[in-house]
Amino acid sequence: MLPIRNHKQTKTTKESMSEAIDGVISAEENTVVSQLKKDGILQRFDPATIFGIAKNGGVGVMCSDGDPDMFPYHTRLTHRPHCVRLFGGSLLFAPSFKGFNEALAFGLLGNIRQGMTVKHTQTLFLYVHAPCGVAAMYGYGIEDQIKLAIEAMEFFAADNFFRRNKIHLLFHVKRINRAGALEQNTYKIDVDAFLAKLKHEEGERRGEAVA
Ligand SMILES: [Zn+2]
């Protein structure tokens, strides 16, 4: 069994990065994932419900620093797993991502649009994952990554070729579960549930500021 580190102190970027390399999320992040599951933001789903909806396979966008196990998960969603794998993955398409490079993002978007045209598909799977070395390098936590994934979705949807209802946001995580076993899962990100949570938190902050 892999050891679980208990983080009482604030982690340095270097520590976060080394964890990402170790391949499982921290105990702190594990709590975040459990809460996001409870809030209905990270949802378990039956791959069969997506398999088949994605006409001609769709295109997955994922981060290259992920454990190689992420790709086999993707193949459960589609019989034609066309895939774009780059360091940073979906984060590269979020305009507020600290490593955002406009020319790269638009260039890749054009490349994906071409690929989807030749493969006759309009389904896009935008993945974020944890632990992610690139996200850790820029100091992003799991919720930050979800925000950036939503921004990336909007970035694609602003191009008329892409349709928001054909863009699926997915989160892949490798963690030690409550039973102490190494577990990997891909969850569907419920965008509306996440935005509602942000709105609620914002309201609470304003309430506190007034009080
Ligand atoms: Zn990554």
Cα of 66 to ligand 1 centre, how many Å?
Answer: 5
CATH code for the part of the protein at 13-210: 3.40.1050
Predicted local distance difference test score (pLDDT) of residue 51: 65
Q: At what angle do helices 102-118 and 142-157 cross, to 10 degrees?
A: 60
User: What residues does 85 pair with on adjacent strands?
Assistant: 62
Q: Distance from the CA of 20 to the center of ligand 1, in angstroms?
A: 8
Interatomic CA distance for residues 21 and 8, integer angstroms: 20
Distance (angstroms) between ligand 1 centre and the Cα of 130 equals 7
Alpha carbon of 188 to ligand 1 centroid (Å): 17
Q: Which residue has the higher pLDDT, 71 or 194?
A: 194
- pLDDT tens, 156-193? 999 999 999 999 999 999 998 888 888 889 999 999 99
CA of 91 to the centre of ligand 1 (A): 9
| Strand partners for 191 | none
Can you list the positions of beta strands (E) in 87-196?
A: 124-130, 167-176, 182-189
**Which residues 6+ apart lie within 8 Å of 154 measured at CB?**
none
CA of 209 to the centre of ligand 1 (A): 36
The structure tokens 């045209």 sit at 117
Ligand 1 centroid to Cα of residue 87, in Å, is 6
Neighbours of 3 (CB within 10 A): 8
- Return the bridge partners of 84, or none: 61
**Which of the four pLDDT bands, split at 50, 70 and 90, describes residue 35?**
very high
pLDDT of 5 strictly over 50 = no
Domain ranges, ordered by start, for the chain: 13-210
Lookup: tokens for 138 = 């820029």
Distance from C-alpha of 122 to C-alpha of 120, rounded to nearest angstrom: 7
C-alpha of residue 171 to centroid of ligand 1, in Å: 11
Query: How far does residue 134's CA lie from ligand 1's centre (Å)?
Result: 5
What is the CA(55)–ligand 1 centre distance, in A?
27
Summary mean pLDDT of the chain: 86
CA of 12 to the centre of ligand 1 (A): 18
Longest pairwise C-alpha distance within the chain: 57
Average of per-residue pLDDT across 11-40 = 76
Helix, strand, coil percentages (3-state) for the chain, rounded to 5, are 50, 20, 35
Q: Is the dihedral of CA 89, 153, 201, 208 positive or negative?
A: positive
Residue-wise pLDDT tens digits, 120-149: 999 999 999 999 999 999 999 999 999 999
Residue 118 — φ and ψ, nearest 5°? -70, -25
